[in-house]
Structure 1
C-alpha cells in the first residue's frame, strides 16, 4: 500500500542516498546558474580592480613657465616632478590592500552560503509538501470510498444522514487541503527555477538528505563560528582598522617631491638641475589619528558582540534541534509500529465502531500524523542551519 511505502520512507530505510544526491545536485546547479551569485561575483571583481588602483603613485606633474621680457631673452622654464608619501606608508597601504581583497572573498562566501541555504530550505519545504501531497491524496481516496460506503448503508437503513454528512465534510476539507498543498508545490518549484536563473529544476523526493550530527554541540559550534563568513569579514575589518591607525601615524610624516628643472633663454646660458621638496602635513591629518583609533576600537567591539550573538544563535538552534530530535524519534516509533488507520478501518468493517467514532478517531490520527510531518520538517530546517558552514 502507498501508506506502507510512506512509512518505510519516513523511517529512512530506503532512498536516502538518492534523496541526498538529488538535493546536492540542485545546490550545484544553483551555485553555477544563480543570477544573483553571478552578478555579485562580477561586482567583487570590479571591487578588486578598484582596490588595487588605490595604491598607485600620485600622478607626475609637468610645469611650463615663460616670461615675455625681451631684456632677458624671453626665458622659459620646464619642471617635471613626482611626489611620494613617506616610504613606510606604502607598506601599510599594501597590507590594507591585501586585507581588503581577502575580505571580498569573505563577502562572496557569505552571499554564496545565504543563497545555498535558502535553496536548501526551499528543497526541504518541497519534500515536506510532497509528503503532505501523498498523505492527503490517500486520505481523499479513503474519504471518497467511505462516502460511497455510507451512502449505500444509508439506503439500506444501516446508517444515518448525520454520518454521511460528516464523511462528506471530511472529504471536502481533505480535497481543499490537497489543492492548497499542490499549489504550494507548484510555487516552490517555481522558486527553484528562479534560483536557477530560469533553468528547469525538479525535485520530487520524499526523503530529506541523510546528514547526521555525530560530533558534540561544542565542537560543531566552534567549527561553525570559525567558518562563518560574516565573522571572518568582521575579523578582517578589525585587522584593517589597526593597519589604518598605523597608516595615519605614518601619514603624519613629511611627503617628498623629487623633480628635474630646465631653464632656457635667448640671452642667458641654459641651465638645468634637480628639485627636492618636502611637504609637512601640519593641518590635513588633524583629528584623523583620533578617528582611526576610535574606529579600531569599534571594530574590536563589533567583532566581539557579533561573535557572542552568533554563538547564542547556534545555542538556540541546538536546543531546538535536540528537542525536535526527541519528539521526532517518539513519533517515528509510534507510526512505524502501529498502523492506526488500518486498525480503524478493520474495526469499522466489522461493526466494532460506528461511523462517527471512526471519523473522530481518524481526525485524531490525521492531526497526529500532520504534527509528525511538521516536526520532521522543522527538525531538518534546524539541522541545515546548524550545518550551513558545510555548504
Structure 2
C-alpha cells in the first residue's frame, strides 16, 4: 500500500459539505451504542446468564432425615434416629467450575462485542450513505438549477422562433428529470434517517449533520491483520471458545474425584442415646466415564475450527484490502483528471456563447456528469470498504 497516495488525498477526500456544525461518525456511533435496544437487551441477557452459571457452582441443599419406630415388640423401648448431613463434590471441583464459569463469562462478553460490532458497522454504513446522499443532493441541486436556466433560455429562443418545439421539449424533459433526481435523493435520505433512528433506539440523532468528517487512517495489510488478530471480536471469540473448552477438560478431570458428605447423627432407645459425626464418600466408577475424553475431543475440534475460520477471514480480508487499493488508485486518477478539466462549467459557458447546440451540449454534458457520478460512487465505495477493513476498531 502506497501510504503517500492515501494521505495525498486525505485533505480533500471523504468530506461532506452541508450544515455549519461538524460531527464525526465516531460521535454518532457512541450515541447509538448507548441507545440501541438490542445491545441493552443483550447486556441484561449477559447478566442473567452469569448469575445462572454461578448457581451451578452452589452446594447441594443440606439434608435432614429421621426415624421414629414405635411399632413392634419394643422390648428395649421406642427407637429414635435423626441425621443432618451436607453433601458436596470434591473441593477442587468447585475451583475448576469457578474458572470454567469465568471463561463462559468472557465468552458472553465476546459475543456481545461481536454483536455490538455488527450493530455499529451497520450504523456506520448508514451514516456513510447519508453523507454521500447529502453530497449528491448538493450536486444534483446545482444541476437542477442549471437545467432550469437552460430551459428558460430555450423557452425564450422558442418564443422568438429561433429553435423548434423538439429542442424545447427535450430541455423541459431534462429539467423535469433533474427535479425527480433531487426528490428521490431527499426520499432516500429520509429512509436512511429512519434506519438510523431505529438503530438509535427509536431516538433521532440530535447532533447528526450532513457535514460528517470521514477520516481515512489505514496502514499496511500486514499491520492491519496483526491488529485485527488482537482486536477482532470474531477471532477473540474463537480463542475464548478454546480456553473454555480447555477448562472444561480440567473440570471433568476433577469431577472424576469422589463426592463427599459430612453430618451429625443421633440414635436413641430406652433413654439411652448415641450421637456423633456422619461421613460418606462415593466410589467414582460410572458417572465420569468417557466425559474427559469427550471434552478433549471437543477441544481438538475447536482448535481445528479456529484455524479454518481464521484462514478464511484472512482470505476475505486480503481480498477486501486489494479491492480497496485498486479503487483508491483509480479514484486518485479520476480526481486529478476531473479537477484539471472543470468540464461542466466550460461546457455550459460554451453553450451560452452559442458554440454548441442544445443536443450537442446535452450529449457532452451527460458524458462528464456520468464521469463525476462514477467518481462519487467510487468515493462512497472506498468508505464502505474502509469501514469493513477497520471494523475491529469500532
TM-score scaled to structure 1, two decimals? Answer: 0.91
Whole-angstrom distance in 1 between the partners of 2:340 and 2:14: 14
Conserved? CA contact 1:76–1:264, under 8 Å: yes
Structure 1 position 345, deviation (Å):
0.8
Tell me if 1:100 matches 2:104: yes
Indicate the residue corresponding to 1:6 in structure 2. none
Secondary structure at 1:351 match in 2? coil
Whole-angstrom distance in 1 between the partners of 2:42 and 2:390: 24
| Equivalent in 278, 298, 302 of residue 299 of structure 1 | 302
Conserved? CA contact 1:127–1:208, under 8 Å: no
Conserved? CA contact 2:100–2:251, under 8 Å: no
**Quick one: structure 1 residues 316 and 11, their matched pair in 2 at CA, closer, same or farther if it must change by over 3 Å?**
closer
Q: Where in structure 2 are the equivalents of 1:343-382 lying within 5 Å?
A: 343-382=346-385
Structure 1 position 71, deviation (Å):
3.2
Whole-angstrom distance in 2 between the partners of 1:317 and 1:54: 44
Conserved? CA contact 1:72–1:268, under 8 Å: no
Q: After superposition, what is the alpha-carbon deviation per residue over 1:91-142, rounded to whole angstroms, capped at 9, x for unaligned? A: 3212211211222221222122222211111110000111111111111111
Secondary structure at 1:90 match in 2? helix
Whole-angstrom distance in 2 between the partners of 1:353 and 1:66: 117
Indicate the residue corresponding to 1:314 in structure 2. 317
**Quick one: structure 1 residues 313 and 14, their matched pair in 2 at CA, closer, same or farther if it must change by over 3 Å?**
closer
Conserved? CA contact 2:17–2:135, under 8 Å: no
Tell me if 1:137 matches 2:141: yes
Whole-angstrom distance in 1 between the partners of 2:17 and 2:182: 25
Conserved? CA contact 1:95–1:243, under 8 Å: yes
Unaligned runs of 5+ in 1: 1-8
Whole-angstrom distance in 2 between the partners of 1:389 and 1:252: 41
Unaligned runs of 5+ in 2: 1-10
**Quick one: structure 1 residues 20 and 249, their matched pair in 2 at CA, closer, same or farther if it must change by over 3 Å?**
farther
Q: Where in structure 2 are the equivalents of 1:175-186 lying within 5 Å?
A: 175-186=179-190
Q: After superposition, what is the alpha-carbon deviation per residue over 1:294-320, rounded to whole angstroms, capped at 9, x for unaligned? A: 211111112111211221221121011
Whole-angstrom distance in 2 between the partners of 1:15 and 1:338: 22
Whole-angstrom distance in 2 between the partners of 1:105 and 1:94: 17
Tell me if 1:194 matches 2:198: yes
Whole-angstrom distance in 1 between the partners of 2:278 and 2:300: 42
Indicate the residue corresponding to 2:215 in structure 1. 210
Secondary structure at 1:257 match in 2? strand
Conserved? CA contact 2:253–2:292, under 8 Å: yes
**Quick one: structure 1 residues 85 and 353, their matched pair in 2 at CA, closer, same or farther if it must change by over 3 Å?**
same
**Quick one: structure 1 residues 296 and 100, their matched pair in 2 at CA, closer, same or farther if it must change by over 3 Å?**
same
Structure 1 position 80, deviation (Å):
1.3
Superposition RMSD in Å: 2.3
TM-score scaled to structure 2, two decimals? Answer: 0.90
Tell which deviates more after alignment, 309-318 or 117-126.
Answer: 309-318
**Quick one: structure 1 residues 300 and 94, their matched pair in 2 at CA, closer, same or farther if it must change by over 3 Å?**
same
